[in-house]
Structure 1
Amino acid sequence: MKKITPILMTLCALFLLNSCATDRDDEIRPLSELEIKNFIYSGMQLYYLYKPQIPELANAFFETQTEFNTFLNGFESPESLFYNGLVADVDRFSFITDDYLDLENSFAGISKTSGIDYGVALDPGDPNFAFAFVRYVLPNTSASESGVLRGMLFNTINGERLTTTTNANGSYSLSARSRELLASDSFTIQTGIFDANDDFQPSGTSYALIQEEYTENPVFIAKTLDIEGKKIGYLMYNAYRRNFDQELNAAFAQFQTDGIEDLVLDLRYNGGGSVETAIDLTSMITGQFDGQIVTQQQWNPEIQAAFEAEDPESLIDRFDSSISNGNAINSLNLNRLYVIGTGSTASASELTIIGLDPYIDVQTIGTTTVGKFQASITLYDSDSFGKNDESLNLSHRYAIQPLVYTYSNAADLIGPPAGISPDFELAENISNLGTLGDPDEPLLSLALDQILRRSTAARKRAVTPFEIIGERQNQSPFYQRMYIEEFPFPNL
């Protein structure tokens, strides 16, 4: 027999139409798509952060089962119900997947890749075309073995030009055909450069690449720089992945051993990930604030009230002293931090900045971040919405990833939706990206200027002349997601 926690009992009483009530499931079980839609509705009605903005999610909106089923059947697919019926206009980040195994692999950093992490920009001569620029190359991949390097440009795949499509708001993105080419199991890119007239000139060099399953370690670069007698740590961290917490902690152990005095945390391409890992990272950077508040969660009104009545402490994320496997956190006890961020920096990356701000001096370098200050959770089709529930519906692999809470830091500051503006602004220049981790790389050099109190008067602030319209990660629906992994109301 299942044991229901007090909080879950409270919520079941609040929501007579959610998945805690089994009658509806029993009625629709022969209808698989209606069953999936019922699961989606129930999860959104219970947990969705923006529930008050969706009238149909009100607890007593539907008076009869027939009326409710008619609503669900009015959408041609589970995806249509989710995006067109239940997601608020303000919400840019909630999503649905028809295969939660792909989602779980994504959170673990497992995907098929050639090894190129790229950005996409408009061709300056014709916005119907685009080109890609290599931001970094993953080790032990087809790209690294073929000699692809950061800063290379390419505008054709298998001889086909990269093309764009115009979105409803007038912006540009890669066309479906170009996305298909970039997702091919094997493809060939032709590199080149732009001349003085902004015309792309092929270099005559091609790279034949193969996409293979790969697990990406987000701790991309961790090194200690010795400059002008100061030891400065540099960490390029590309995603908050719980399964790589030990590698992250090991990097900080090395920083401890090296005796670094300052740290440059490079999050320029970090779209976020695990909230728990973000909290651990704040504790690695500091250590002197153990037990104090990093963030304070704010769920939808009913969930918030249930938390506050039964377990208010669960609404608070605090600096901690151990990572997920129980190993002690290697803390640096720093009183200042320099963070490199860009328009690709989001969610858990922004939590790190906002969470630390009341405690230490956090200086940001680069361009304005995305502005995503909400967390999500994976909801599965089971009585508890958890995957390990014995009631998990095995007839499909749909899952939803709705936003479930926003947060403030210890000073009650909520992150700005427009993103975190840099203290020292400098955009990456596609024509001169530099070498990541090299003290002369433009963004790292600007951070070092602040640490070493060097003059920046002569440093050029020119923005890249190309309009960036995308990147590798945003070809995935799982991009720029911040999530919690431990289900808030386990009932097993």
Structure 2
Amino acid sequence: MLFIIAAFIVSCTNRDQDLPEFPEGSTEYVNRWVQDSMRRYYYWADQMPTKPDYHLPVKDFFKSLLSSQDRFSFIVNTEDSSTYPRSVRNMYGFDFTVLQLPNGEVATIIKLVLKSSPALNAGLERGMMIKKINGQTITAANVTQLTSSIPDHTVLELTVGNWMNGSIVNEKDITVYYGFSFEQPIMSKIFEKNGKRTGYLYIYDFPDGMTPALNQKFAELKSAGVQELILDLRYNYGGSVSSAAALCSLIPSGISANSPFIIYKGNKNGGEVKRTFSQQIAYDSGALDFNTLHTNALGLNKVYIITSNSTASASEIVINNLKPYMQVVQVGETTLGKDMAGFVIDDKRKPRKISWQMHPVIYKVYNANGEGGYHHGIIPQTVVSEYATLPLLPLGDPDETIISSVLNKIYLRSVTQQSPVKKSEILFQSDLPFTEVGK
């Protein structure tokens, strides 16, 4: 969820002499370590309270240090799994959106099912409709109560069906058990019309170690002679900046290993750090180097990127940091607005004395032209809701609402004029509460 730039050793040395000392192993001792670390690295360190309450539980103490502008910093105890962020996606492997349709009815749509996940194993598919959760029919009145309780369960009983002519048909009961979802593959397709080939890549996230997979996909696209590229980042929370840089190195023309890629700006201790494509890619020790990747670069002047309000972090860096080098045509919805980066802070002493691990905001990020500041999200040139037409079609289907909109632009296809339809109201999205982790 955060960018792993480095692992810093943080000790309890060099403390201010005017601050109290506490016995090792106490809650207060841990909180002092948290405060010392945050004062050194936290982007908003100058806004931290000067006299916090050291007697608070560690998680509450951490929250008390955070800026009101901070939606993303969080802390976990590596010896207590209950302190880790929980979401429908990381527990069960799927995400859903609850809509209030123009006719007033409530529709709960499964929009994402991860490969090799408990949800997929249970039979869930993108486009299915959820009618009941744990035996209760979802309504506008109970949606908050029903959905907020999901992470508290280890078993979900769902009544699902298919959407047909404005109603749910073929209802059935499905049980989804809490479990692990495996690494998600990159999906690729090639669309063609009148001899013009368009590559499509659906990229779920940016883990370290993904450069071989990226290299292979772009080798296939280049060999096929694609002339246009669509990146589908609509559900991409982010991940490794190095992997995002590797992806960016494979798309535009006119860049080299030494072309500037990113600028990090921290607090008075962190200062400003600039990195080239090559330097940023190399921060993943197992990554293929820039020159190896660049042999399969497509050398394009334009890229189409599909986004939603679940597009965050490293995926937003892809959008913003390609702009100095090519035309970026963004289609979909405004992104989340995580123009920040950080690294893990934990106790590296041997033996370790503190089991807590912090994930704070440490840097604001900018592109080669110094452009950033998209904390309210990056707004697409063409706004398209994937819920404009139901049921949702599979990702990668050329008739899927947003992909079809992009292909219309690429192939200049004529679009049948339709009567305006009142927009559905989004009541809940299961993949958005993660932004409030640690608050």
TM bucket, shorter chain: 0.7 to 0.9
| Alignment partner of 1:137 out of 92, 109, 113 | 113
| Alignment partner of 1:425 out of 368, 383, 395 | 383
> Is 2:38 the counterpart of 1:19?
no
The answer on whether the counterparts of 2:116 and 2:182 sit within 8 Å (CA) in structure 1 is no
Tell me, in whole angstroms, the C-alpha distance in 2 between the residues paired with 1:445 and 1:411. 32
Identical columns (%): 26
> Is 2:95 the counterpart of 1:89?
no
The answer on whether the counterparts of 1:426 and 1:461 sit within 8 Å (CA) in structure 2 is no
Deviation at 1:178, TM superposition (A): 3.8
| Alignment partner of 2:39 out of 37, 45, 51 | 45
The answer on whether the counterparts of 1:100 and 1:399 sit within 8 Å (CA) in structure 2 is no
Cα distance change on mapping 1:114 and 1:461 into 2, 3 Å: farther
Amino acid at match of 2:97: G
Cα distance change on mapping 1:19 and 1:145 into 2, 3 Å: closer
Tell me, in whole angstroms, the C-alpha distance in 1 between the residues paired with 2:267 and 2:217. 37
Correspondence list, 1:150-165, <5 A: 150-162=126-138
> Is 2:364 the counterpart of 1:403?
no
| Alignment partner of 1:441 out of 379, 392, 400 | 400
The answer on whether the counterparts of 1:426 and 1:463 sit within 8 Å (CA) in structure 2 is no
Correspondence list, 1:106-117, <5 A: 113-117=91-95
Amino acid at match of 1:191: V
Correspondence list, 1:137-286, <5 A: 137-162=113-138, 174-175=144-145, 178-181=147-150, 184-192=153-161, 203-217=170-184, 219=186, 221-286=187-252
| Residues matched between the structures, number | 420
Deviation at 1:376, TM superposition (A): 1.6
The answer on whether the counterparts of 2:101 and 2:424 sit within 8 Å (CA) in structure 1 is no
The RMSD of aligned alpha carbons is 3.7
Tell me, in whole angstroms, the C-alpha distance in 1 between the residues paired with 2:54 and 2:80. 27
Tell me, in whole angstroms, the C-alpha distance in 1 between the residues paired with 2:252 and 2:360. 31
Q: Secondary structure of the equivalent of 2:181?
A: strand
The answer on whether the counterparts of 2:164 and 2:391 sit within 8 Å (CA) in structure 1 is no
Which runs of 5 or more structure 1 residues have no equivalent in the other structure? Answer: 1-7, 13-17, 57-67, 166-171, 308-313, 382-388, 480-492
Which runs of 5 or more structure 2 residues have no equivalent in the other structure? Answer: 1-7
Deviation at 1:455, TM superposition (A): 3.5
Tell me, in whole angstroms, the C-alpha distance in 2 between the residues paired with 1:333 and 1:36. 51
Q: Secondary structure of the equivalent of 2:270?
A: helix
> Greater relative contact order: 1 or 2 (C-alpha under 8 angstroms, separation 6 or more)?
2
Correspondence list, 1:264-343, <5 A: 264-286=230-252, 288-290=254-256, 291-304=258-271, 314-318=273-277, 324-327=285-288, 328-329=292-293, 330-343=296-309
Of residues 455-464 and 39-48 in structure 1, the stretch that sits farther from structure 2 once superposed is 455-464
Residues 435-473 of structure 1, C-alpha deviation per residue, up to 9 Å, x if partnerless?
A: 211111110111112211234473777574131422246
Q: Secondary structure of the equivalent of 1:467?
A: strand
Structure with a larger share of its residues in helix: 1
Cα distance change on mapping 1:280 and 1:463 into 2, 3 Å: farther
Deviation at 1:255, TM superposition (A): 1.5
Of residues 279-288 and 179-188 in structure 1, the stretch that sits farther from structure 2 once superposed is 179-188
Cα distance change on mapping 1:224 and 1:123 into 2, 3 Å: closer
Tell me, in whole angstroms, the C-alpha distance in 2 between the residues paired with 1:460 and 1:279. 42
